[in-house]
């Protein structure tokens, strides 16, 4: 099973970092991709390892966001349901890592990348000697910030409320599930990440990591988000790091679909994107052949 991998960070790096995740097949909604036992394998990709990584990031005050292509109220309601409705006593729930606290403030203004954007195909966010389990324990012991009123309502039975904001410079409409850090701009993920940098992430957070299972979206954010940020306010500085969470291991084991999957990354059309993450043409052809052959043997159609 592929585990959640982020570029390696020191404590000092983490104090200047924010992380933006895709949702489907990155955090949840991944049939068969999790641990067995108490963690439902149909919900959390990477199972307990993912939960512990999120707990570590939260314990170190790293802001966490979701940038999803889901845009209709029904699909966003389903996303919130899959994240989980409980914020206490349920380690399976991921929602608590993406709700706003009473102290959350939208930081207006913009920023620009200083060093060039960085592609990443996976280096653990933690030093192996640190131990992610200890981080999860620390996160559980840390006092929780009070929830905003909107977040508290979200945890009840009320339907979600979606706020819309038009970002005129980027010519895109941003949707936010009220009370959360869950955002959507359809498939304009590069613009959405740029919007988060300029409107939601504090200026002190100068390293923005984006995680996606689809190599095209990971590459597009890597290439386009810095320019969208720069176009709004050139004097602000940050670096965009794009991390492609390659699902080929789960696909090889039949834990994710291959045939007729619009997110399948090992297609010829994505070769330029794959090359940015270290996958050359021979490796792409070999991997695609193996995955497709195994899918056919499993009866996928």
Mean pLDDT of 59-69: 95
> What is the model's pTM?
0.80
| Percentage, residues of the chain above pLDDT 90 | 46
- Asked whether 112 and 227 are in contact (CB, 8 A), the reply is no
Helix axes of 189-199 and 215-232: crossing angle, nearest 10 degrees:
40
| Chain segment 31-60, per-residue pLDDT in tens | 543 333 333 444 678 878 888 899 999 999
**Cβ burial, residue 38 (10 Å; 0-12/13-18/19+):** exposed
Measured CA distances, 129 to 1, 59, 123 (Å): 21, 18, 14
Spell out the domain ranges in the chain.
Answer: 11-111+121-245, 247-301
Contacts of 105 (CB under 8 A, 6+ apart): none
- Asked whether 33 and 256 are in contact (CB, 8 A), the reply is yes
Per the DSSP assignment, residues forming a β-bridge with 184 are 68, 175
Helix (H) or strand (E) holding 173: strand 172-177
| Chain segment 169-185, per-residue pLDDT in tens | 999 999 999 989 999 99
Provide the pLDDT for residue 2: 59
**Cα 98 to chain center, whole Å?**
11
- Asked whether 208 and 193 are in contact (CB, 8 A), the reply is yes
The sign of the dihedral angle between the CA atoms of 12, 180, 3, 247 is: negative
Cα–Cα distance measured from residue 281 to residue 155, given in angstroms and rounded to the nearest whole number = 47
**Cα 215 to chain center, whole Å?**
13
Phi, psi of 8 (to 5 degrees): -60, 135
Provide the pLDDT for residue 44: 77
Residue 271 confidence (pLDDT) above 90: yes
Residue entry with tokens 């933690």: 126
Provide the pLDDT for residue 27: 86
Residue 5 confidence (pLDDT) above 60: yes
Write out the two tokens for 193. Answer: 């990440």
Mean pLDDT of 239-261: 86
CA-wise closest residue to 245 among 272, 217, 284: 217
Contacts of 266 (CB under 8 A, 6+ apart): 248, 274, 279, 284, 287, 288, 291
- Asked whether 67 and 79 are in contact (CB, 8 A), the reply is no
């Amino acid at each position: 099973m592929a585990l959640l991998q982020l570029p390696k960070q020191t404590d000092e790096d983490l104090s200047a970092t924010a992380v933006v995740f895709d949702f489907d097949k990155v955090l949840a909604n991944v049939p068969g991709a999790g641990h067995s036992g108490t963690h439902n394998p149909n919900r959390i990709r990477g199972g307990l390892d993912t939960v512990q990584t999120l707990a570590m990031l939260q314990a170190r005050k790293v802001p966490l966001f979701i940038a999803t292509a889901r845009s209709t109220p029904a699909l966003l309601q389903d996303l919130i349901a899959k994240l989980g409705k409980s914020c206490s006593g349920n380690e399976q729930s991921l929602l608590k890592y993406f709700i706003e606290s009473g102290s959350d403030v939208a930081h207006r203004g913009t920023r620009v990348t200083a060093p060039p954007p960085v592609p990443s195909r996976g280096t653990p966010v933690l030093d192996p000697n640190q131990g992610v389990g200890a981080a999860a324990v620390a996160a559980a012991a840390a006092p929780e910030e009070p929830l905003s009123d909107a977040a508290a309502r979200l945890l009840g039975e009320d339907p979600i409320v979606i706020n819309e904001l038009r970002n005129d410079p980027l010519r895109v409409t941003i949707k936010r599930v009220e009370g959360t850090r869950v955002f959507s701009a359809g498939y304009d993920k590069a613009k959405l990440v740029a919007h988060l940098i300029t409107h939601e992430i504090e200026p002190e957070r100068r390293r923005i990591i984006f995680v996606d299972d689809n190599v095209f979206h990971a590459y597009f954010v890597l290439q386009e988000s810095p320019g969208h940020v720069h176009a709004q306010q050139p004097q602000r500085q940050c670096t965009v790091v794009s991390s492609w969470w390659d699902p080929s291991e789960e696909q090889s084991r039949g834990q994710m679909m291959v045939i007729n999957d619009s997110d399948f990354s090992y297609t010829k059309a994505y070769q330029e994107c794959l090359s940015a993450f270290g996958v050359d043409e021979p490796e792409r052809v070999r991997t695609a052949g193996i995955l497709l052959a195994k899918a056919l043997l499993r009866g996928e159609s």
